[in-house]
Amino acid sequence: MRVVLQNPGFAQTATRKPGLVAAVLRHRVLRSRRARQGLQTPSCLEYAVTYACQARCSHCSASTLESLDRERGRLDRDAVQRLAREARQLGIYEVNLTGGEPTLRKDLEEIIACFAPRSTFIGINTNGQLLDADRVRSLRDAGVDLLKLSLDSPDPAEHDENRCLPGNHAHVLGLLRTLRSTRGIRGHICSVATPTAIREGGARKLVDLAAREGATIGFTLPVAVGRWAGAYEHTLDQNDLARLRRLCRAPHTFFQGSVGLSSFACPAGRDDVYVTPDGEVLPCPFLQRSFGGVQGGLEPAFGRMAEAVLRAGDGSLCLAADTQRYMKAELEPLLQATPGCATEHEQGFCRRPVAEA
C-alpha cells in the first residue's frame, strides 16, 4: 500500500493512530467501488494554509501567488471543517499542510484538529525557522506525524543564501536531531533535484545526511514557475532523470516529495488534490489552473480535474513539467481564443519559452 511504502515508520504511526489503518482500508474499498464507475479516488490532500513566507527562496513556486486579497479570503474554520469532512468522504487518509510557510499560522494546531488527526496521516512542509522543541511536541500532540523540512544543499552557506535565512541550515539539522529523539513524530527532508545538485553530488550528500540524521528524504522535480518562470536551464534532461532514478533506490529515499512516492509517476490530480488558501482546487501548486472552489464541493472539482489529467495522458513523470499534453487535453478552447503563447505564460499554463511558441 502506498502509505506503507511511503513511511518506514508506518507501524509505529499505526500503533499511535489505530484509526488510520481503518481509514486506509476504507480508502481501498472506496477506490475499488469508484473504479468500477470509472472514477478516480485520491488518497492525499495538499492544503496550502497560507502563501505568506519569511524566506525568499530562489526556486519558490508560490512567490507570485502571495497577495493581501488571497490572505483575506482564506478559508474560515467552518470552511476548513467542511473541506476535511468532504475529503474523508472522498477516501482521503493523508493530509499535507503546506504554504508558503504554514507555521506562520498561529492557529495551525486548530487547523490540524479539523482533519480528524486520530485517523489521518498528517504532515507539514516547513522551512523550520519558527520551530523549536516545544513547538515540535505541540504539533505532535495535535496529530502531526511527519515534519517535512526543506534543505536545498548540504552546504550550509549555499542553503542559507538561497533562502535568505542566515543560520537556517544549522537550525534544520538541530530540528532533525530533536525529531529523532521525540517519540510519535518523524523528520523528513524535502529537496528540489536541480541539475547542479544531481551532477555535482549535492543530492547524494543530502541522501547521506538524511541517513545520518535518521530521516527520510524526498526529491521534487524543478519546474520553471514562480521565481524560476522561464528559467528552463533549471529543469532536468534525460541523463539527470536517470541519475535521479538511481539515487532514489537508496533506503528511505523517495521521489516527488509530499511524503515521498515509491514510484516515478506524477500524483497530481489523481492520487493528490491541492487546495489553495482561498479554496481553489488545483492539480498541484505548480499548475495554477482551478477546477472550482471548495464552496461548490470538493468531489465535483476533483472529478473535473481527474478527467482532464487522464485526457492529458496517464503516467506523466511530472504534469507541470510536461504541460503540452495537459494543454492539448484541457485548454484547447482557451488556446483557440488566445492571441499568443505569452498570454498563456502569464496565466501559468505554458512552460515553453515564448520564443519557441
* Tens digits of residue pLDDT in 114-163: 999 999 999 999 999 999 999 999 999 999 999 999 999 999 999 999 99
15-47: pLDDT as tens digits? 889 999 999 999 999 999 999 999 999 999 999
Mean pLDDT along residues 272-281: 94
Lowest mean pLDDT among 206-215, 223-232, 340-349: 340-349
Query: Could you tell me what percent of the chain has a pLDDT over 70?
Result: 79
Q: How far apart are CA 356 and CA 98, in angstroms?
A: 34
Instruction: Quote the longest CA-to-CA distance of the chain.
Output: 58
- Phi/psi of residue 300, each to 5°? -60, -40
Q: How confident is the model at residue 254 (pLDDT cuts 50, 70, 90)?
A: confident
CB 93 within 8 A of CB 27: yes
Joined grid coordinates for residue 332: 484547447
Q: How far apart are CA 316 and CA 286, in angstroms?
A: 14
Q: What is the mean pLDDT of the chain?
A: 84
How wide is the angle at C-alpha 219 spanned by C-alphas 213 and 221, nearest 5°? 160
pLDDT above 70 (res 351): no
CB 187 within 8 A of CB 176: yes
pLDDT of residue 153: 96
Q: Is the peptide bond before 100 cis (omega within 30 degrees of 0)?
A: yes
